[in-house]
Structure 1
Amino acid sequence: MSIQSLKKDIIQYSKEIGIDKIGFTTASTFGELKNRLVRQQELGYQSGFEESDIEKRVNPKLLLDEAQSIISIALAYPSKMKVRVTSKKGERRGIFCRASWGEDYHHILRDRLRKLEEFILSKVPEARVKSMVDTGELSDRAVAERAGIGWSGKNCSIITPEFGSYVYLGEMITNIPFEPDAPIEDQCGDCTLCLDACPTGALVQGGQLNAQRCVAFLTQTKGFLPDEFREKLGNRVYGCDSCQTACPKNKGKDFHFHDEMEPDSELVKPLLKPILKISNREFKEKFGPLSGSWRGKKPIQRNAIVALAHFKDETAVEDLIDVMNKDSRPVLRGTAAWAIGKIGGEAAKVALEKANDIETDPEVIVEINKGLAYFNGGQS
C-alpha cells in the first residue's frame, strides 16, 4: 500500500469513528513556537500547567524516535444547551465553560486516537505511533495550525472554518512520512472583539495571552483569588468563554455530533448553594465526569462563593456564615468572609464581628476585615 493510499484510508476511517476534521503535518521542529514560548517564560505569562521542557514542546523527535509526521484531529463540541435552566433569586447558578460540558474530552479524544492507532497498525504493523491530548508535551494548537485544521486566532484558539473555535484537539506522532497538508490562512483580519471582550485584559495582544490573568486559569487555582479578579469572575465556577462567544467566526456555530459531549444543564449550570457543603464523595459522583473537576472541589467551592457574592444573594448568607465559622480550609473561610461583607445585611455584620474575635489564621483575618470594610464604606 502506498503512503498516499494509506492517508486516504485514514481520512475515510476517521470520519467513521467520529473525528470531525483531520490534518497531517511534518514532525519538524516548531521553531516559531519555541521563540514565543521562551518569550512567554521570560514575561511570566505561563500558567504553570504546561510541560516545563520547551524543547519537548517544540521537537517531536524527542518524543518519538524517527518521527516523520504528526496527525492532528479535531472534534466539534456544542455551544448551546438543548435544555436550558435559569438562575433566579434564591436559586442562583454558576456556569462551567463549554469546553467542560459533557464527558471529559480527554477520554473522548483518547478513544478516537486509540482507534486511529489500531487502524494504522492494522495496515502498517511496523509503524510507530505516540498520541497525546492536552496534557502531552506538544502544543495541540501549534500542531493543528500547521496541519491545516484551522488558523491560530487572536484569542489564542484554533479557529476552523467549519466549526469555529468550538473544537477539541489531539494529535498523533508517527514514523510514517505522510504528505503534509497546507495551513489555513489567518482570517481574523483587523477584528479585535476577543481582545475587547476579555474581562481581565489577559489577551495582551492578538495571539499573546498572559495566563496569570486569564479567568479560565484563575478558576483553576487553589489559593485566594486576588482582589482585582473577584469582580471579574461573575458566576463562572470553571473556565471562561468570553473570547470565544465574542468571536464573529463562532456566530451560529453549534454542533451536536457526539452524544457524550451533550451537557447536563443541571450539572454544567449548577445551583451554587449546594456546592458549598458538597462532600468529596458527592463531588466525585456528580462532577467527576467533567473535565472541569480535575483540580478537585476546592476551587469550584471557592468560585461558587465568589459567584454568590457577585449575585449579592442574601439567601446564601447563612450558608456562607457556616463556611466561615466551620470550614477547615482557610481559603474557603476567608473567601466566605469577604463574600458575606459584599452581600451585606445586619446578620452578616454581626457574624463578621464575631468571627474577627475568634479567628486565628492571619490570611482569614485579612479577609474578614475586607468584609467588614463594606460596612464602613471601605469597598464598593
Structure 2
Amino acid sequence: MDLTKLKQEIISYSKSIGIDKIGFTTADPFTELKNRLICQQELGYQSGFEEPDIEKRTNPALLMEEPRSIISIALAYPAKMKIRVESKKGARRGIFCRASWGLDYHHIIKDRLQKLETFIVLQVPDVRLKSMVDTGELSDRAVAVRAGIGWSGKNCAVITPEFGSYVYIGEMITSLPFEPDTPIEDRCGSCTKCLEACPTGALVQGGQINAQRCISFLTQTKSLIPDEFRDKIGNRIYGCDSCQTACPYNKGKDFHFHEEMEPDPEVAKPLLKPILNLSNREFKLKFGQVSGAWRGKKPIQRNAMIALAHFKDQSAVPDLIRVLKEETSPVARGTAAWALGKIGGELALSALKTAKARETDPEVLREIDKGLGLISNC
C-alpha cells in the first residue's frame, strides 16, 4: 500500500467535504500531557467534565488495538453575526459564546469524521478506525497540536495560523502508519493579553487554567454561582470568549464556510426575560440544536437571571418574583432572590421580605438575606 499517496488522497477528499484543515500524527502516548493532567488533578483545577481516567486521555493504545496514527481535523467557525440584534432597555439580551452558535459542533465534526471514515474504508477495507470529538477520551487539543493543526496558546486554545482559535476540532485513531506532520512552533511569545483579559483570573499562567474559576465552566454548572463570580459573568448565559477576543491571532478572523454554523441571532443572543418562563419543551424547541443546551434549561435560566441583575433591569422584577414564588428549584429561587436585591426597588424589597417569611430552604434563605442586604446598602 502506498501510504504517501493515500495520505494525499485523504487530504484532498477532506477539502471536498468541508474540512478546513487536517493533520496527521503518531499514536504514541501523550507523555507530557499526562504529567500536566496529573498536576491539574492534584491542584483541583479540572472541571469534572473531562474523562476521569488520565491513562485513557493520554494513551491511544487503551482506546483501540494497535493504533498507528491519529488524524486531526479542524473546521473554522464564525466570529461575527451577519445579522445583529441589539440589547435595549426593557429588552435586554444575553449571549452564547461563539462555539455555541449554529448547530451543535459535535454533530458537525462527527459528520465530517464519519464521511472521512467511509472514504478510508473504501480504500483500505480492513482498516481499523475510531473517531471522537470533545466527549471522547483523548484530548482533542493535544492531538491537534501534535498533528500540526496549530499551537497551544497561553489561553489553552489551539491557535491556527489561518483561522486563529475559532476552530472546532476532532480526531480519528487509525491502524495505518501515516507519516506524521510537523507540529507548529509556539508563536505566543511574550504576549499575555489573554491572561489579562480573563475576567476571573482563571488563566493561572500561560497554558494553565483553573477550570473551577473559568466563566465557561461556571455557566455550565447546575449549582448556585459563587458570589465572587456573579458580577463578572455579565450577560453571558453560556461560555466565555474573553481570552479569544483578546488574542492578536484572532484579530480580523471571521469565517463563514459552513452554513450549519451560521447563528440565528435570536438564539445566539436571546432576549433574557422570556428565558425565565420557558417550559422544557419550549427550551428544547428554541435552544435544543446548539451545544450550549447540553446541560438543560436550568443553568441557562440561572445565568439569565444573573444577566438581568447585571443590567439592573427593573422590567424583569415581576418575572423574578414569579421565579422566587413558584420555582421548585432552590438554585432558581436563590438566584432570583439575589438578582432582585441587585436590581433593587420597593417591589423587589417587598417580594424578598414576603419570601423570607415563607421560605424553608436554608440555601435560599441565605440568598434572600444577601438580596435584602444589597437593597439596604443602596
TM-score range, shorter chain: over 0.9
Q: C-alpha distance in 1, partners of 2:222/2:53?
A: 24
SS at match of 2:72: strand
Taking the TM superposition and a 5 Å limit, the aligned residue runs for 1:115-194 are 115-194=115-194
CA distance in 1, matches of 2:341, 2:153: 40
Amino acid at match of 2:178: F
Query: Secondary structure of 2:71's match?
Result: strand
Per-residue CA deviations over 1:306-335 (Å, capped at 9, x if unaligned) read 000000000000110010011111100010
2:273 corresponding residue in structure 1:
273
Aligned to 1:248: 248
In the aligned structure 2, how far is the partner of 1:337 from the partner of 1:251?
40
Alignment match, 2:66? 66
Match of 2:322 in 1: 322
Between the two proteins, what is the percent identity of the paired residues? 74
Pairing 1:48–2:16 present:
no
| Equivalent in the alignment of 1:229 | 229
Helix, strand or coil at the partner of 2:138? coil
Q: State the match for 1:114 in structure 2.
A: 114
Q: Is it true that 1:333 corresponds to 2:344 in the alignment?
A: no
The amino acid across from 1:278 in the alignment is L
Q: Give the aligned partner of residue 304 of structure 2.
A: 304
What is the SS of the residue equivalent to 1:305?
Answer: helix
Deviations 1:119-169 (CA, angstroms, capped at 9, x unpaired): 000000010000000000000000000000000000000000000000000
Q: Tell me what 1:19 maps to.
A: 19
Deviations 1:180-223 (A, max 9, x none): 00000000000000000000000000000000000000000000
Query: Within 2, Cα distance between the matches of 1:360 and 1:219?
Result: 26
Secondary structure of the residue aligned to 1:309 is helix
- Deviation at 1:374? 1.4
The one-letter amino acid paired with 1:24 is: F
- What CA distance in whole angstroms lies between the structure 2 residues aligned with 1:376 and 1:311? 19
What residue identity is the alignment partner of 2:127?
A: A
User: In structure 2, what residue type is equivalent to 1:222?
Assistant: K
Deviations, residues 254-299 of structure 1 (Å, cap 9, x unaligned) = 0000000000001110000000010000001110000000000000
Give the Cα–Cα distance (whole angstroms) in 1 for the partners of residues 183 and 43 of structure 2.
29
Instruction: Give the TM-score, by structure 2 length.
Output: 1.00
Equivalent position amino acid for 1:167 in 2: V
Measured against aligned partners, the alpha-carbon deviations of 1:38-90 in whole angstroms (never above 9, x if no partner) come to 00000000000000110000000110101000000000000000000000000
Q: Which residue of 2 aligns with 1:366?
A: 366
**Partners in 1 of 2:350 and 2:63 — Cα distance?**
59
Counterpart-to-counterpart distance in 2, 1:330 and 1:264: 32
CA distance in 1, matches of 2:376, 2:209: 37
User: 1:211 is matched by which residue type in structure 2?
Assistant: A
Q: What are the ranges of 5 or more consecutive residues in structure 1 without an aligned counterpart?
A: none
Q: Does 1:201 align with 2:201?
A: yes
Aligned length: 378
Alignment partner, residue 102 of structure 1:
102
Tell me the SS of whatever aligns to 2:131.
strand
Which residue is 1:289 aligned to?
Answer: 289
CA distance in 2, matches of 1:72, 1:335: 41
For 1:318 and 1:347, locate their aligned partners in 2 and report how far apart those are by CA, in whole Å: 8
- Alignment match, 1:91: 91
Give the aligned residue type for 1:312.
K
Q: Structure 2 regions of 5+ residues with no counterpart? A: none
Q: CA deviation at 1:376?
A: 2.2
Cα separation, 1, equivalents of 2:321 and 2:376: 20
| Root mean square deviation of aligned Cα | 0.6
Distance in 2 separating the partners of 1:285 and 1:232: 29
Secondary structure of 1:102's aligned partner: coil
2:78 aligned residue:
78
> What is the SS of the residue equivalent to 1:317?
helix
SS in structure 2 opposite 1:201? coil
CA drift at 1:375: 2.4
Rounded Cα–Cα distance in structure 1 between residues aligned with 2:275 and 2:262: 22
Q: If the length of structure 1 is used for normalisation, what is the TM-score? A: 0.99
Structure 2 Cα separation of the partners of residues 291 and 346 of structure 1: 39
Counterpart AA for 1:336 = A
- Provide the C-alpha distance between the structure 2 equivalents of 1:120 and 1:23, rounded to a whole number of angstroms: 15
Residue in 2 aligned with 1:217? Answer: 217
Segments of 4+ in structure 1 off by > 4 A? Answer: none
